Amino acid sequence: MIRDKCAIVVGASSGIGEAAAVQLARRGYRVALVARREHELRKIAERINSRSPAGEERALVFAHDVTHFNEVPELFDRIAQSLGGLTLVVYAAGVMPRVEPEEYDFSKDLKMVEVNLLGMIVWLNEAAQLFTRLQAGTIVGIGSIAGDRGRKGQPVYNTSKGAQAIYLETLRNRLAKHNVRVVTIKPGYIDTLMTRGMGNLLWMISAEEAGRLVANAAETARATVYVPARWRIVAWLLVHIPSFIFRRLDA
Amino acid sequence: MTEPPVNPDQALGPRHWARVDGWGMAVRSFGYLFHPRTADEIRNVYDLARGAGKTIVLRGAGRSYGDAAINNEGIVLDLCGMDRVISWEPDTGIIELEPGVTIQKLWQTIIADGYWPPVVSGTMHTTMGGCAAMNVHGKNNFKVGPFGDHIIEFDLLLPSGEIRTCDRAGNARLFHAAVSGFGMLGCFIRLKMKMKKVCSGLLRIEAFHTRNLQEMVDEFEDRVADADYLVGWIDTVAGGSGLGRGIVHQANYLREGEDPRPADSLTISAQELPAHLFGIMPKSLIYLLMRPFINNPGVRLINASKYWSSRIALRGACYCQSHGAFAFLLDYVPNWKLAYGAGGLIQYQSFLPRGRAVAAFEAILRAAHSAGLPPYLGVFKKHRPDPFLLTHALDGYSLAMDFRVTASNRQRLWSLAGELDQIVLDNGGRFYFAKDATLQLWSIDKFLPPANIEAFLALKHECDPENILQSDLSKRLFGKRFSAEVTQQSL
Ligand SMILES: Cc1cc2nc3c(=O)[nH]c(=O)nc-3n(C[C@H](O)[C@H](O)[C@H](O)COP(=O)(O)OP(=O)(O)OC[C@H]3O[C@@H](n4cnc5c(N)ncnc54)[C@H](O)[C@@H]3O)c2cc1C
Ligand SMILES: NC(=O)c1ccc[n+]([C@@H]2O[C@H](COP(=O)([O-])OP(=O)(O)OC[C@H]3O[C@@H](n4cnc5c(N)ncnc54)[C@H](OP(=O)(O)O)[C@@H]3O)[C@@H](O)[C@H]2O)c1
């Protein structure tokens, strides 16, 4: 029999992914931690395993760079096999390099598309196929409020986040009949490495709090969840502002 | 596709994990799914199962209502990919097929040459392997016998890797046991069959109502000599004086010359079912319209309107219909089973000797009504005995009833089935593995002749001594009787 409550978290070495993995382990999941920084992953795994019921190895470590797309199918299988089952995949890997107002650096753009979007696609395509065969499972993608509107500061980051939302919606519509839930998480500002040094940001919450909300959503949500929830109202307003006004408001 | 296994653990990895359900969705399983395309690939999976200590269920299109084609925790060998027509000779009507060829592909292959399969199930999505293993019957069972009667020869791939070619002369014992043997003796990998020559793609249909079961049986008996097909629909929710009322459809092949333009109807497009309802609504969505009616009052309403409109409008109506439209009524609405909701459905089909049928089926309907679990669909057919070892057919009638399963009625439904089993057994009746989901471990001894069971177990021991081929159904009904020691004792 394959096990219940097994999760993969891609992008688990810091920030929201790390916090979500810790939360999931606390809720009884076996979690595979995936990211590049193996050392960080090991520390997190140790922390999780030291808190797990005696003898239970709740966290497993898999060092991987999501831009090595070819490795994913084989790695995905190896992880599912090691976990002994799979019920949840969280894709939290993401990058947002600093981009100047007049900067058009394609190498940065490429990185964002590769990590945020293509990495998500290659991982979640695998999840979609397995969950279709199992007629069960949950997919969680971490998008962003930044994907709701084309703001000036981060053309390609916003694009990658907007594209993620469309991809996730498509998966949701494809997989609904197979009893697979696909959840889009749209965080507001979260206190992580990504936002470090950006000053005081509106409604900023801790990564731990975000991780808890992501884990909640993974267990019950059906579509898009704003983290924290009040961002839904802001997003609604933002989406309805005509472009010629939005252009002026967008600092 | 299936590489020779290196390490069984790896070979049973996530690429093969799958949930596999019985067609009625009321019984489910987790399995390791494989899609072989050649005999060698099947052999590899046999070896893999042996190495990993797993059992295998053979699976065609998975159209068995219950647990005949699932195997919880075991390997599921899905044969749909082996779907080549090996040869077709229009002069003789002889066709050789791989096991995954569906009835649909079969009729599409032969129709333009003026042929139709001699026996088809109520859906065209079943496969040759599944139809042979269950020895399926059509609405013409009383006239032409079951599927197996039209098989000339087959190759059976045993779990040892050996291929046994069987016909009525050579390996006759195995021939008559593998057909009806629900996939327990080996895998059909080639079947040679004879098709029926027809003069037209149309059938002449006569439809009329019957006020109760006795009347339906009387009509069947009066018509068997002339009819090519006979099928009854029964309003299974009606009680009191309406108990067992229904509609009979008789179909006959057109004779030479009766169809002025046979070439027009002997085409795939003339046999195809319409893709839209009223020309506009995609058929794949119709089940959503059905959903609100799949409950006691809803079915009561629909059945009563169907019965009374037939009473008023049909009055012996006579019309022509394509073979496909007549045979595959159940395919008109794709996925109609989803209208039954998440709990799915079970079909309870019992076969009763001619003289006992009316009283026993009436008792069955009454028992279902008084349990508050009326079946939602009832189909009545006439049968005749056949020479296959575990056959379900007998000289008599069958009534197939669909019951909705819900979380809250499941237990009551299973105990109702136990009650109905008793009625069937008391009257010398039989059951059909393709439909069953509820029989119990002791049941087979009460309806299959002991000599047949013993002969079957002996063949199981001979063909599959390691007991690799199993299904949830075989585990439920045969328990440990397949294992060598027990078989030896019982012999
Ligand atoms: C809507 C509907 C209508 C139906 N109408 C009828 C009807 O009118 N008459 C009737 O008799 N039945 C009817 N059935 C039942 C159906 O015909 C049988 O269950 C049939 O066996 C299904 O074929 P399959 O290819 O789906 O086989 P599966 O359900 O996949 O398998 C059936 C059995 O065959 C075995 N098997 C499959 N392939 C092979 C192989 N290559 N070699 C050896 N064993 C194999 C399996 O192990 C299993 O025991 C109906 C089913 C449905 C869903
Ligand atoms: N923080 C916010 O305010 C905020 C707001 C909205 C949305 N988000 C989104 O939330 C997600 C998580 O971000 P975060 O805030 O938690 O930032 P973070 O702390 O920087 O975490 C990013 C994670 O992505 C992983 N990652 C980056 N590149 C990778 C690669 N090539 N291969 C594998 N893993 C890679 C990192 O691991 P390694 O570096 O070890 O590989 C790390 O685990 C991102 O998608 C981000 O866009 C964040």
For residue B393, what is the domain's CATH number?
3.30.70.2520
What average pLDDT does the segment B80-95 reach?
98
What average pLDDT does the segment A82-98 reach?
97
Is B351 in contact with B397 (CB distance < 8 Å)? yes
Is A251 among the domain residues?
no
Is A110 among the domain residues?
yes
Q: Which residues pair with B17 in a beta bridge?
A: B32
Type of residue numbered B319: Y
Ligand 2 within 6 A of A187 CB?
Answer: yes
**Is there a contact between A134 and B18 if contact means CB atoms under 8 Å apart?**
yes
What average pLDDT does the segment B205-219 reach?
96
What percent of chain B is modeled with pLDDT above 90?
A: 87
Is B179 among the domain residues?
no
Evaluated on CA atoms A211, A213, A216, A221, the torsion sign reads negative
Choose the closest CB to A81 out of B14, B19, B33.
B14
Ligand that comes closest to the CA of residue A44 = 2
Cα gap B335→B321, rounded to integer Å: 23
Is B83 in contact with B129 (CB distance < 8 Å)? no
Q: What is the pLDDT of residue B450?
A: 96
**Sorting pLDDT into bands at 50, 70 and 90, what band is B5?**
very low
Residue list, ligand 1 pocket, CB within 6 Å: B 23, 57-64, 68-69, 79, 99, 121-123, 126-127, 129-131, 133-134, 136-137, 182-183, 187-188, 330, 434, 471
Choosing from A66, A184, A190, A196 the residue with most ligand 2 atoms within 8 A of its CB, the one to mutate for a pocket test is A190
What average pLDDT does the segment B231-243 reach?
95
Is B5 among the domain residues?
no
Cα gap B429→B395, rounded to integer Å: 10
Query: Do B370 and B261 fall into the same domain?
Result: yes
**Sorting pLDDT into bands at 50, 70 and 90, what band is B490?**
very low
Query: Do B157 and B97 fall into the same domain?
Result: yes
Q: What is the pLDDT of residue B145?
A: 98
Query: Do B295 and B414 fall into the same domain?
Result: yes
What average pLDDT does the segment B123-137 reach?
98
CATH number, domain at A78? 3.40.50.720
Q: How many other CB atoms are there within 10 angstroms of residue B277's CB atom?
A: 14
A-chain residues near B17 (CB < 8 A): 2, 80, 130, 133-134
Tens of pLDDT along A134-147?
A: 999 999 999 999 99
Q: What is the pLDDT of residue B6?
A: 52
**Is there a contact between A80 and B13 if contact means CB atoms under 8 Å apart?**
yes
Ligand 2 mean position, distance from CA A192 (Å): 9
A-chain residues near B14 (CB < 8 A): 76-77, 80-81, 86, 130
DSSP annotation of A3: P
What percent of chain B is modeled with pLDDT above 70?
A: 95
Distances (CA, A) of B209 to A111, A113, B317: 72, 67, 10
pLDDT(B302) > 80: yes
Query: Do B167 and B206 fall into the same domain?
Result: no
> What is chain A's mean pLDDT, rounded?
96
Is B177 among the domain residues?
no
Tens of pLDDT along A12-24?
A: 999 999 999 999 9
**Sorting pLDDT into bands at 50, 70 and 90, what band is B230?**
very high
**Sorting pLDDT into bands at 50, 70 and 90, what band is B332?**
confident
Is B89 among the domain residues?
yes
pLDDT(B491) > 60: no
> What is chain B's mean pLDDT, rounded?
94
Cα gap A157→A230, rounded to integer Å: 22
Query: Do B336 and B415 fall into the same domain?
Result: yes
Which ligand 1 atom is at minimum distance from the Cα of B59? Answer: 30
Query: Do B321 and B431 fall into the same domain?
Result: yes
SS3 of chain B: the string is CCCCCCCHHHHCCHHHEEEEECCCECCEEEEEEECCCCHHHHHHHHHHHHHHCCCEEEECCCCCCCCCCCCCCCEEEEHHHCCCEEEEECCCCEEEECCCCEHHHHHHHHHHHCEECCCCCCCCCCEHHHHHHHCCCCCCHHHHCCHHHHEEEEEEECCCCCEEEEECCCCHHHHHHHCCCCCCCCEEEEEEEECEECCCCEEEEEEEEECCHHHHHHHHHHHCCCCCEEEEEECCCCCHHHCCCEEEEEEEECCCCCCCCHHHHCCHHHHCCCCEECCCEEHHHHHHHHHHHCCHHHHHHHHHHHHHHHHHHCCCEEEEEEHHHHHCHHHCCCCHHHHHCCCCEEEEEEEEEHHHHHHHHHHHHHHHHHCCCCCCEEEEEEECCCCCCCCCCCCEEEEEEEEECCCCCHHHHHHHHHHHHHHHHHCCCEECCCCCCCCCCCHHHHHCCHHHHHHHHHHHHHHCCCCCECCHHHHHHHCCCCCHHHHHHHC
Whose tokens are 């508050």? That residue is B372
CATH number, domain at B120? 3.30.465.10
**Sorting pLDDT into bands at 50, 70 and 90, what band is B277?**
low
pLDDT(B152) > 70: yes
Ligand 1 mean position, distance from CA B83 (Å): 15
pLDDT(B32) > 90: yes
Counted domains in chain A? 1
Find the domain containing A170 and state its range: 6-246
Is A139 among the domain residues?
yes
Is A213 among the domain residues?
yes
Tens of pLDDT along B279-293?
A: 677 777 888 888 899
Hey, is A72 helix, strand or coil? Answer: helix
Query: Do B55 and B92 fall into the same domain?
Result: no
Query: Do B466 and B322 fall into the same domain?
Result: no
What average pLDDT does the segment B399-408 reach?
97
Ligand 2 within 6 A of A7 CB?
Answer: no
What average pLDDT does the segment B443-457 reach?
96
pLDDT(B7) > 80: no
Is B178 among the domain residues?
no
Q: What is the pLDDT of residue B488?
A: 47
Counted domains in chain B? 3
Find the domain containing B97 and state its range: 85-135+151-172+185-197
Is A1 among the domain residues?
no
Query: Do B111 and B248 fall into the same domain?
Result: no
pLDDT(B31) > 80: yes
Judge whether A29 counts as a catalytic residue: no
Is B39 among the domain residues?
yes
What average pLDDT does the segment A58-79 reach?
98
Is B143 among the domain residues?
no
Any idea which of A90-94, A149-153, B74-78, B487-491 has the lowest mean pLDDT? B487-491
For residue B58, what are its two tokens? Answer: 């053979």
Query: Do B479 and B363 fall into the same domain?
Result: no
Query: Do B299 and B216 fall into the same domain?
Result: yes
**Is there a contact between B17 and A135 if contact means CB atoms under 8 Å apart?**
no
Tens of pLDDT along B464-475?
A: 999 999 999 999
Query: Do B71 and B92 fall into the same domain?
Result: no
| CA proximity to B252, closest of B192, B204, B294 | B204
What average pLDDT does the segment B355-377 reach?
97
The residue in chain B having the minimum alpha-carbon distance to the alpha carbon of residue A80 is B14
CATH number, domain at B19? 3.30.43.10
